[in-house]
Amino acid sequence: MSGIVLIGAQWGDEGKGKIVDLLSENADVIVRFQGGNNAGHTLVIKDKKIILHIIPSGALRENKICIIGNGVVIDPKVFFDELNQLKNNKLLPESTKIYISSSAHIIMPYHKIIDSIRETLTPTKIGTTGRGIGPAYEDKVARIGIRVGDLLFPDLLKDRLKYILEEKNQYITKVLKGNPLDFKEVYEDVVSFGEKMHPYICDTVELMHKLTRDRKNILFEGAQGTMLDIDHGTYPFVTSSNTVAGNAAIGSGVPLSAITKVVGVVKAYTTRVGNGPFPTEETSEIGDYLRKKGGEYGATTGRPRRCGWIDLVALKRAVMLNGIDRLVITKLDVLNELETIKVCVAYKYNNKETDIMPYGLNQLDICTPIYREFRGWKKNISNIRDGLDLPVEAKDYLKFIEDFLETKISIVSIGAERDENIIFEYLF
Ligand code: IMP
């Protein structure tokens, strides 16, 4: 049995969807453990682009068990829209089984309203995806959240929701100056989603334990990225869940012993969507070039992503925080035509050189990157399947990353298609 946690090591959008799909070939179980439909995991299968927001990215393969764990927040409408889209396009094999934890929290209509109005009012605009993620996690912690399992007990839900909605309507109308929601509509909608969800809902903790006991290969699919972690990211410009590997156990209800390996997905350059510090951001030509070549537009919101060079200082911290055992480098092909490629190896901070990310609000904003330059390989590498055939410049670039981060690279992705990879080592 193996339990591999796959996480994004940067600010999200590292290309995790494709790698989850690749690794799930040899996995029995794929589990989402945090986040919600703020994620957008893109897969390209035979020229067809599929973006999954809530259903685990392994769902498209035969005979997989896909679990939406207790640490996830779920918008029922998005779940069913996605499920129907997959079914209508004949992309969901009959043999795929999907389960939703009864303890996962529901993203309610008021969460989305609060998220979007707040973004227009707050002085520190976070640039959220507007999907109600933050407000749903807030309610979970405040113990006024609605859980998936609650939908199966409509009578008990009624009284709780009545009180909660009254409080939310006060906040929406008096503080945010928005329009109140109608109780009957909200209640009936959520109950009818509950009826439809019933066949998918279960105690995923029992299920996960049975699967571990049966020695299944389990892939824990992280969403967003390490630098967006609520505790360890660039707070307050973060998402509202723990995105680091440690949360895989909590968000799916397994003991730490179920995790045998942590894999960090790293894009060959860096992107960020939304606001917040980004030391290696390039706002000039090269940023535009990376955005265009890499198709760097948000999979969830369509927003153009901010682009820049790879930041090994931030990545060193990600390796430390997650305990990354192996790296997967994605989108190396985007750098194919560049004359020179830069790698951030330290920051200049308060007139000193440091390779440690500074702590504290806005401190990262005053860091300037110190780069080491590499010669580009200037040729198409997407047809290469054996690492030995990579141009020497590409080998040098990858070797430098490995050495700096003291972590081996297992896979290099060199195109969006399923088979466009150089595999140095099989992870399952
Ligand atoms: P929220 O998760 O919608 O609350 O957004 C908080 C921050 O996380 C914003 O900067 C978003 O752009 C960012 N974010 C959320 N999900 C993703 C993702 O899947 N990829 C990249 N950035 C994300």
For ligand 1, is residue 128 a contact (CB within 6 Å)? yes
Q: Whose CA is nearest to atom 21 of ligand 1?
A: 12
- In one letter, which amino acid is 261? K
Weakly modelled stretches of the chain, pLDDT under 70: none
Distance between CA atoms of residues 109 and 334, nearest Å: 39
The reported pLDDT for the residue numbered 44 is: 83
Distance 37 CA to ligand 1 centre (A): 10
Distance between CA atoms of residues 167 and 157, nearest Å: 15
| 204 to 69, 133, 194, 234, 243: CA distances (angstroms) | 7, 22, 17, 32, 20
The reported pLDDT for the residue numbered 283 is: 96
The reported pLDDT for the residue numbered 188 is: 98
Q: Whose CA is nearest to atom 5 of ligand 1?
A: 128
Q: Give residue-wise pLDDT tens across range 342-394.
A: 999 999 999 999 999 998 778 999 999 999 999 999 999 999 999 999 999 99
- How many residues are there in the chain? 428
- Rounded to the nearest 10 degrees, what angle do helices 133-141 and 109-121 cross at? 110
8 A C-beta contact, residue 306 and residue 281: yes
Atom of ligand 1 nearest to the CA of 275: 10
Domains of the chain: 3-102+201-262 (3.40.440.10), 105-197 (1.10.300.10), 266-423 (3.90.170.10)
Atom of ligand 1 nearest to the CA of 241: 2
For ligand 1, is residue 344 a contact (CB within 6 Å)? no
Residue 30: closest CA among 73, 5, 67, 2: 67
DSSP secondary structure code for residue 257 in this structure: G
Q: Whose CA is nearest to atom 2 of ligand 1?
A: 239
Within a 10 A sphere around the Cβ of 200, how many other Cβ atoms? Answer: 18
Q: Whose CA is nearest to atom 1 of ligand 1?
A: 128
**Catalytic positions:** 13, 41
The reported pLDDT for the residue numbered 348 is: 96
For ligand 1, is residue 230 a contact (CB within 6 Å)? no
